[in-house]
Structure 1
């Protein structure tokens, strides 16, 4: 019998070994006779695709008394950063509590939301199933969606309407189920208050401000856009404060547990034989936050859609999301107040500063094509390497096009002005 082995030890933490994966599978599959034959690991993401964690794809072969033949499984290990992105970056994410928060999401919150929806006959998965959540090592072992036929869309091209609506339909169900759970037990998600902007940590303020500064500097050099560049410069001392303000849940808003980081690379799609999209799974739950659902919409629309859909169809998409949210709440017999469509639009407008952040800072980072310098460690510094990376991010053809379209729109809506 071959001894357990792995193909690339560099992609796994030192504590991950045969005993670890064997005990995890025994518990998850409910079979104490499982014995690992081999396991192999490889990187699950390329450089520049993930700034937050280390993802490893693990293929396992094992035997058990319940099966005569050798069994196999495919899993994803999500672990804390190492290497270049180590002490400083880990300290920043620790200040957000992201690793512990995501562990709680997979261990307790997601099963609760799944149970709420199951009661009204909704059985599809919203997020991947966790094989093992491990607070000690700040890691999660998940089922590998890729091995189940799910694929990532092209982040640099953007999602078309069928993909976008598939995401919004599941997002609405997640939001509705969380609102229902909170109505049954108020304060259920009170601890979920550390979104991308939050009042507890300023660890990434430098990242946000350097991104905005680069955007302002480059926009100022475009003929006819000098005024917008000047306004972006004036926003610099207020940028993170406005971000925190817009993320805070308001008593007059309809609040839910948001995904908090909903963009194309945090979704995977399944297709039928005709290559039509039939399902989507949402993942990466580090920033789930109790706030307005419109935060997820602004972020998703301004980071992940095709340019044409983003410019011409967001009203239709808001309406589609709202219909699914309302219908799910009604199916759940939600006893709280369901906002009218008009009330929801008012809420959407009141949180629109998040669209500014998503456009000038988030999307340039996400669709960056300069992977040579791409790392969060680089983006937290203000040196020649980081300036070169930010220049490449903002000068991306799609980013230039989007900024030239949306900065005048944001300005006409007062979103680039200094607020009281």
Structure 2
């Protein structure tokens, strides 16, 4: 596995004793001893923004193995920098993710097992620290899991695998809420909402720069006035996307479903064989199509985005209906036609994912791709954002999306 240099200092509390204390409980071994620790970043710049992740290489002695063993874990923590941390903390994402791994993911697995489905959807979190807002995970790379290069995006086979497992997450949580109405009521803060607006300011800054760039694109200048007008009620439009549907089914969505939050295993021909979803910080209770639109417009290869989304929706819908029937779900299950109505109703998500967020996800030069640059208003930061929209892959995607969205009234 590639080693990445540390971009954030290791906090003073993250010591051998910290690991020792929870591993003794987890393994029920009071004789366990952590001899040494070594930390590296899990990923390079431009791969994750909302938290810090380190790979911890440990040497461990235990009752089972008095000879020191090498082990590897992944530690996910909040930023030590108060300014960065406060931006994300107002969304409650850290404690929400801990609850997702400690409780909700376990219940999802139980629901699926009740119909004989032993599918694993998420990695195991060995340690849940609510006080420091820290999670410690198994190191999935040891089982061969890795990300697809975010710049290459996913092929049709990989996308169908995502749709199949996503249907399982959605179906299980729909059944859970049917049995325990209101259990997800507190999952009401997504990336966009009316009470926390830190992200809105940052995305508006990006859009202002994009509109300036758009004015220089031949044959696309006519969209600039529409987008500038859209900025006036941007947060309300974006928040409505994440509002639970009044007329159709709701589920607990992943909430940040893109290439870097999906880890695959591959066979010797480099064909994907399994996947796990990671990063559950933005899970919220809303329409299932929000996940689908978000994923489709930031993670699919460009030709698939333009040609295969209806196929993927049908594939997802087939699996969802099959699962809900097995789970004896009593509420109304949306028809495929109703799914398409929902997709139009929540269609502004395509703009948010494809025009607002995707440029960051496709960044080529990741030298300055970090939270400091994204939230800064310096000249260098503005140039970085301008370059996002000059990326040929981004331009191709946006040039397809703008007329697509406009023809459906989603820019009005």
Check the 8 A contact 2:77/2:134 in 1, yes or no.
Answer: yes
Partner of 1:18: 16
Is 1:284 aligned to 2:282, yes or no? no
Q: In angstroms, what is the RMSD of aligned CA positions?
A: 1.6
- Once residues 253 and 116 of structure 1 are traced to their aligned partners in structure 2, the CA distance between those partners, rounded to angstroms, is 22
Partner of 2:195: 200
Is 1:388 aligned to 2:386, yes or no? no
Partner of 2:37: 39
**Structure 2 stretches lacking a partner, 5+ long:** none
Q: For residues 168-187 of structure 1, what are the structure 2 equivalents within 5 Å?
A: 168-187=163-182
Partner of 1:50: 48
Is 1:265 aligned to 2:260, yes or no? yes
SS in structure 1 at match of 2:276? strand
Check the 8 A contact 1:256/1:290 in 2, yes or no.
Answer: yes
Give a deviation string over 1:312-353, Cα, whole Å, max 9, x none: 100000111111111111121112111111111111111000
Distance change in 2, residues 1:389/1:236 (3 Å): same
Distance change in 2, residues 1:382/1:11 (3 Å): closer
Give a deviation string over 1:252-302, Cα, whole Å, max 9, x none: 121000000000000110012332211001010110000001111111010
Comparing 123-132 with 11-20, which one deviates more in the overlay? 11-20
Check the 8 A contact 1:11/1:41 in 2, yes or no.
Answer: no
- Once residues 270 and 24 of structure 1 are traced to their aligned partners in structure 2, the CA distance between those partners, rounded to angstroms, is 29
Residue 250 of structure 1 deviates from its aligned partner by 2.0
Residue 181 of structure 1 deviates from its aligned partner by 0.2
Residue 374 of structure 1 deviates from its aligned partner by 1.9
Is 1:357 aligned to 2:352, yes or no? yes
Matching residue within 111, 118, 122 for 2:117: 122
Q: For residues 104-183 of structure 1, what are the structure 2 equivalents within 5 Å?
A: 104-183=99-178
Distance change in 2, residues 1:375/1:9 (3 Å): closer
Residue 63 of structure 1 deviates from its aligned partner by 2.0
Distance change in 2, residues 1:360/1:270 (3 Å): same
- Once residues 412 and 348 of structure 1 are traced to their aligned partners in structure 2, the CA distance between those partners, rounded to angstroms, is 15
- Once residues 377 and 38 of structure 1 are traced to their aligned partners in structure 2, the CA distance between those partners, rounded to angstroms, is 32
Matching residue within 27, 30, 54 for 1:29: 27
Partner of 2:186: 191
Check the 8 A contact 1:370/1:393 in 2, yes or no.
Answer: no
Matching residue within 74, 77, 101 for 1:76: 74
- Once residues 389 and 336 of structure 2 are traced to their aligned partners in structure 1, the CA distance between those partners, rounded to angstroms, is 35
Residue 68 of structure 1 deviates from its aligned partner by 5.4
Residue 166 of structure 1 deviates from its aligned partner by 1.1
- Once residues 370 and 65 of structure 2 are traced to their aligned partners in structure 1, the CA distance between those partners, rounded to angstroms, is 45
TM-score, length-normalised on structure 2?
A: 0.96
- Once residues 123 and 156 of structure 1 are traced to their aligned partners in structure 2, the CA distance between those partners, rounded to angstroms, is 32
Is 1:402 aligned to 2:397, yes or no? yes
**Structure 1 stretches lacking a partner, 5+ long:** 1-6
Distance change in 2, residues 1:18/1:76 (3 Å): same
Partner of 1:3: none
Check the 8 A contact 1:155/1:367 in 2, yes or no.
Answer: yes
Check the 8 A contact 2:45/2:368 in 1, yes or no.
Answer: no
Residue 118 of structure 1 deviates from its aligned partner by 1.4
- Once residues 210 and 283 of structure 1 are traced to their aligned partners in structure 2, the CA distance between those partners, rounded to angstroms, is 28
- Once residues 73 and 389 of structure 2 are traced to their aligned partners in structure 1, the CA distance between those partners, rounded to angstroms, is 35
SS in structure 1 at match of 2:256? coil
Partner of 2:310: 315
Partner of 2:362: 367
- Once residues 30 and 255 of structure 1 are traced to their aligned partners in structure 2, the CA distance between those partners, rounded to angstroms, is 40
Q: For residues 66-105 of structure 1, what are the structure 2 equivalents within 5 Å?
A: 66-67=64-65, 69-82=67-80, 86-105=81-100
Distance change in 2, residues 1:259/1:205 (3 Å): same
Give a deviation string over 1:91-144, Cα, whole Å, max 9, x none: 111110111111111111111111111111221211110010101111100111
Distance change in 2, residues 1:9/1:210 (3 Å): closer
Residue 173 of structure 1 deviates from its aligned partner by 0.3
Check the 8 A contact 1:364/1:394 in 2, yes or no.
Answer: yes
